[in-house]
Amino acid sequence: MRPLGLLVLSLALAASGCDVDRRAEAGTDEAVGIPESAADRARLDSLLAPYGALSAEVPPVPLSEAQRWADSVLASLSTDEKIGQLLIVDLNPRFLAGARNLVQVAEEWGVGGFHVPRRMPPREILRSTNLLQESARVPLFFTADYEWGAGQPGTPLTELPAAMAFGASGDPLLAEAAGAVSAIEARSLGVNVLLAPVADVNNNPRNPIINTRSYGDDPRMVGRMAAAFVRGAQRRGVHATLKHFPGHGNTGTDTHLAFDAVPGEWGDLALTELGPYRAALAEKPGIVMSAHLWMRALDSEATPATFSRRALADVLRDSLGFRGLVMTDAIHMGALTSRYEFEERILEPVLAGADIVLNTYDPLRAKEVLREAFDSGRLTRSRLDRSVHRILTHKALLGLHRQRTNASARLERVLSAPSGERVSRAVARASVTVVEPGPVPLAAGSRVGVMQLANFRADRAEAQFVGDLRDGGIDVVPLAATTASASRVDDLDALVIAVHLQVAPAERPTLTRDQQRVVDAALSRGTPAVVVLFGNPYAALDLNGSAGLIMAYDGIPRTASAVADVLLGREPAPGRLPIDLPGRYRRGRSVAL
């Protein structure tokens, strides 16, 4: 960054309460964070009580001990072994060029870690993490995208509501509990790095990939929630990862598919995108992940932040004082593959200041690229050693130098009961937001048409929603999502339109034109109606006609039950809108029933 630019940015950071934390710069063992009350501690303990002893905070490893171990191991590694530590690869040999099996990748190729896919069965994850930890000379990182917890259909592991539900709840303690739940269950699998939380400020209503993965569009609130998640997770023995630095919220493109730019000047960047990082960095997260986006405020030419020294060194390291690990987002994403060759995707992040390159599918070739850069002098020994020492230090801070494998009894204890349901239920119930009441609550015994539309297979949530309404005494009339079925609403007491819009790569989380016509036709009949948005709340901008409106932010069954209880009048709806809906509703809106 130009000196004047860095000065302007530093002043903007200071003016917004984002001054550098000198304790973080010094790398001391002193705890940094938000003071907690006894009442908060008691409430958190109650939420985590079903885990029993597994919920206990993990005693931290002294920084001095971790650094001594890192010094010793670094001195014993060859240059090729050091280079291997910079790489995290997929936990699937089908995606790894030239690999006989994963043991070869860990033992012979000496990579720094593996990325665990979400759909892998829990016991298979533990078997793999233990086997590979035993095979590797240096303890391994195991990363996983557990933004929504470790849960998945068919297992008792916890499915958490979307981040925006936490924003709607307005309760950072619930975010702390979510971090703790994610960490407890991840550790039982052998996963020691959570690629969460998302610290992006979603200030673009048409963002197709961050959206409900963000806590909201208020930088201060996003920062408080992200900090709380980090606190809950790292106190239970994993590293949390803030992503996607410097910020992925103000874009209309999914970087899994294509490259894009974030507009704005230095002041905009400091006050909006960087605001959450300053709050969350106070909790000393182990890792910050870079975004494959061009930040126009930082680079005059189109450069992804993953390749930008201004982003990773000048801002993240120097201005914000971050001393943890910098990791790239996955380098096989379309934002990079559409513009850059393999060699650039491996080397440029490291030269810009990244310590870890995530999810290369060809680690041997990646090692060759870095070795050639080392031999030519582009990658200096001091630069390589600095990253490897950080990596080793953070592996020791996780206690991997003492114990790298995990007991199967711990996982069986977690799998024996859905222990995180108390947290998931609390968030779901605290987040339901009534924007317009409409015919809510529904009268007992009333005949209600329920029409459900989705952009994904929402079978579980759809069945839960209808089942709960029927159990509550509603005569549910299922309506097909067609314009022809809209005419059937005339003889009903009320109409509920449940719209399930998941945020996912390659899909825009909005209603299709056909779905929009179905909704418009149903609302035009004049029957008292309420629309429930399970997922993308910005879809409200596309709604026409008069109806009640309820926001629920995600489509897990627990959330469907919480909404059903609000419709039945059994529960209040305490959530507040965590975003602005331009031209419609302001952030903070909530209507009491």
Q: Domain check: are 501 and 473 in the same one?
A: yes
Q: Which long-range contacts (CB under 8 A, 24 or more apart) does 442-445 make?
A: 442/469, 442/474, 442/493, 442/494, 442/496, 442/567, 442/568, 442/569, 443/493, 444/472, 444/473, 444/474, 445/473, 445/474, 445/475
Q: Domain check: are 182 and 321 in the same one?
A: yes
Q: Domain check: are 45 and 180 in the same one?
A: yes
Choosing from 362, 394, 421, the residue where a domain stops is 421
Give the pLDDT confidence score for residue 505 in this predicted structure. Answer: 55
Query: Is residue 21 domain-resident?
Result: no
Give the pLDDT band of residue 507 (cuts 50, 70, 90): low
Give the pLDDT confidence score for residue 255 in this predicted structure. Answer: 83
Choosing from 393, 421, 449, the residue where a domain stops is 421
Residue 501, strand partner residues: 535
Q: Which residues, in sequence order, are CB contacts of 467 under 8 Å at separation 6+?
A: none
Residue 22 scores a pLDDT above 90: no
Which has more confidence, 94 or 26?
94
- Cα–Cα distance between 405 and 347 in angstroms, integer? 31
Residue 322's domain spans which residues? 3-16+38-421
**Which of 168, 39, 185 is closest to 428 using CA atoms?**
168
Active-site pick, 171, 200, 254, 329:
329
Residue 20 scores a pLDDT above 50: no
Q: Which long-range contacts (CB under 8 A, 24 or more apart) does 363-370 make?
A: 363/84, 363/87, 363/89, 363/96, 363/105, 363/109, 363/111, 364/97, 364/98, 364/109, 365/97, 366/87, 366/342, 367/80, 367/83, 367/84, 367/87, 367/109, 369/342, 369/343, 370/83, 370/86, 370/346
Give the type of residue at 16.
S
Q: Domain check: are 286 and 370 in the same one?
A: yes
Residue 45 scores a pLDDT above 80: yes
Choosing from 381, 398, 421, the residue where a domain stops is 421
Q: What percent of the chain has pLDDT over 70?
A: 93
CATH of residue 182's domain is: 3.20.20.300
- Gyration radius (Cα) of the chain, Å: 24
Query: Is residue 84 domain-resident?
Result: yes
CATH of residue 521's domain is: 3.40.50.1700
In angstroms, the Cα distances linking 41 to 45, 80, 185, 232 are 6, 47, 20, 11
Query: Is residue 113 domain-resident?
Result: yes
Residue 109 scores a pLDDT above 50: yes
Contact 458, 534 (CB under 8 A): yes
Contact 454, 462 (CB under 8 A): yes
Per-residue model confidence as pLDDT tens digits over 418-433: 999 999 999 999 999 9
Q: Which residues, in sequence order, are CB contacts of 586 under 8 Å at separation 6+?
A: 577, 580
Q: Structural domain tally of the chain?
A: 2
State mean pLDDT over 7-12.
Answer: 46
Q: Domain check: are 333 and 198 in the same one?
A: yes
Q: Domain check: are 375 and 496 in the same one?
A: no
Name the average pLDDT for the chain: 92
State mean pLDDT over 438-445.
Answer: 95
- Give one word for 382, left, alpha or beta, with left for phi > 0 and alpha for psi -120 to 50: alpha
Query: Is residue 586 domain-resident?
Result: no
Give the pLDDT confidence score for residue 35 in this predicted structure. Answer: 56
The three-point CA angle 563-439-426 to 5° equals 20
Give the pLDDT confidence score for residue 488 in this predicted structure. Answer: 82
- Give one word for 503, left, alpha or beta, with left for phi > 0 and alpha for psi -120 to 50: beta
Give the pLDDT band of residue 4 (cuts 50, 70, 90): very low
- Cα–Cα distance between 498 and 54 in angstroms, integer? 38
How far the first Cα of the chain sits from its last, in Å, is 52
Q: Domain check: are 224 and 188 in the same one?
A: yes
Question: Which pair of structure tokens corresponds to residue 501?
Answer: 């819009």
Give the pLDDT confidence score for residue 328 in this predicted structure. Answer: 98
- Can the peptide bond before residue 441 be classed as cis, meaning omega within 30 degrees of 0? yes
The verdict on whether 500 is a catalytic residue reads no
- Cα–Cα distance between 528 and 531 in angstroms, integer? 10
Residue 373 scores a pLDDT above 70: yes
State mean pLDDT over 200-222.
Answer: 95
- Cα–Cα distance between 394 and 73 in angstroms, integer? 13
Q: At which residue do the structure tokens 């879809």 appear?
A: 539
- Cα–Cα distance between 194 and 20 in angstroms, integer? 25
Contact 547, 511 (CB under 8 A): no
Per-residue model confidence as pLDDT tens digits over 128-147: 999 999 999 999 999 999 99
Residue 457 scores a pLDDT above 90: no
Which has more confidence, 483 or 555?
555
Give the pLDDT band of residue 544 (cuts 50, 70, 90): confident
Q: Domain check: are 365 and 389 in the same one?
A: yes
Query: Is residue 25 domain-resident?
Result: no
Query: Is residue 473 domain-resident?
Result: yes
Give the pLDDT confidence score for residue 1 in this predicted structure. Answer: 41
Q: Domain check: are 260 and 290 in the same one?
A: yes
Question: Which pair of structure tokens corresponds to residue 399?
Answer: 């206690």
Residue 2 scores a pLDDT above 60: no
Query: Is residue 24 domain-resident?
Result: no
Q: Domain check: are 477 and 356 in the same one?
A: no
Give the pLDDT band of residue 7 (cuts 50, 70, 90): very low
Residue 375 scores a pLDDT above 80: yes
Q: Domain check: are 400 and 516 in the same one?
A: no
Give the pLDDT confidence score for residue 101 in this predicted structure. Answer: 93
Give the type of residue at 500.
H
Least confident of 270-279, 295-304, 500-509: 500-509
Give the pLDDT confidence score for residue 257 in this predicted structure. Answer: 81
- Cα–Cα distance between 285 and 511 in angstroms, integer? 37
Strand pairing class (433-436; 548-551): antiparallel
Active-site pick, 21, 40, 256, 318:
256
Give the pLDDT confidence score for residue 34 in this predicted structure. Answer: 53
- Cα–Cα distance between 254 and 507 in angstroms, integer? 9
- Cα–Cα distance between 36 and 22 in angstroms, integer? 22
Q: Which residues, in sequence order, are CB contacts of 282 under 8 Å at separation 6+?
A: 21, 24, 32, 33, 34, 227
Question: Which pair of structure tokens corresponds to residue 141?
Answer: 């990182």
The verdict on whether 256 is a catalytic residue reads yes
Query: Is residue 497 domain-resident?
Result: yes
Q: Domain check: are 140 and 255 in the same one?
A: yes
